Structure 1
Amino acid sequence: MDVMTAIELTDNEFLRQFETTFDNKLAKIEYSLQDRKIFLTKIHMPEGAEDRMNDFIVAVFKEVEDRNIRLVPTSPEIAKFMRSNRRKYKNLLPVGINI
């Protein structure tokens, strides 16, 4: 299944978080935007949807890539995902940042 068809991503700019729902429960990745960099600071997955976390992260990474901005994963879970998929997503990191 294509991740982008499976996850409908919303950017709640007021609350500075990407949002989606799993079984009518809100999942969110909080962010801070500074100087063409987006810092992904916290991820919250609803109970029972933890197995979809990687799909959600991929959807957010795709959105960041489409906006042509750099990504700094400060959330431990997102940094772990980035380390596990370094080759695929290293182009999203700002110059000089290694995860």
Structure 2
Amino acid sequence: MIQLLFLVLFAEGVLAFLLLVKIGPLRELVIKSLDQLKTGKGPATVKTIAGTMSVILLSSLMSIVKIQNKGAKLGTMSPMDQVLWRTHLLEASLMAIWF
């Protein structure tokens, strides 16, 4: 397993080196190969990122509701709860802009 990891790291290093050094046709071959490899992967990537952002947004919203319920039960929110509430609200509002 560790050997596979080192093999992948070595391959990434060689690929980065070939992209960095301008060795004419070899660099162009690497770029074309990467372009062919990435073709058609856009929609899956977008769906994965959107799903991840949705989970984080829902987590922030749940934290906001949990803090509000705690404050309503006690009658007041502690300063720490206020800071956490504002942080989660800012995080959720910034993520909601992208949707």
Asked if these proteins are the same fold (TM beyond 0.5), I'd say no
Give TM-score, length-normalised by structure 2.
Answer: 0.26
Please identify which structure carries the higher helix content: 2
Give the number of the structure whose alpha-carbon radius of gyration is greater. 2
* Bigger fraction of residues in strand: 1
When normalised by structure 1's length, the TM-score is: 0.26
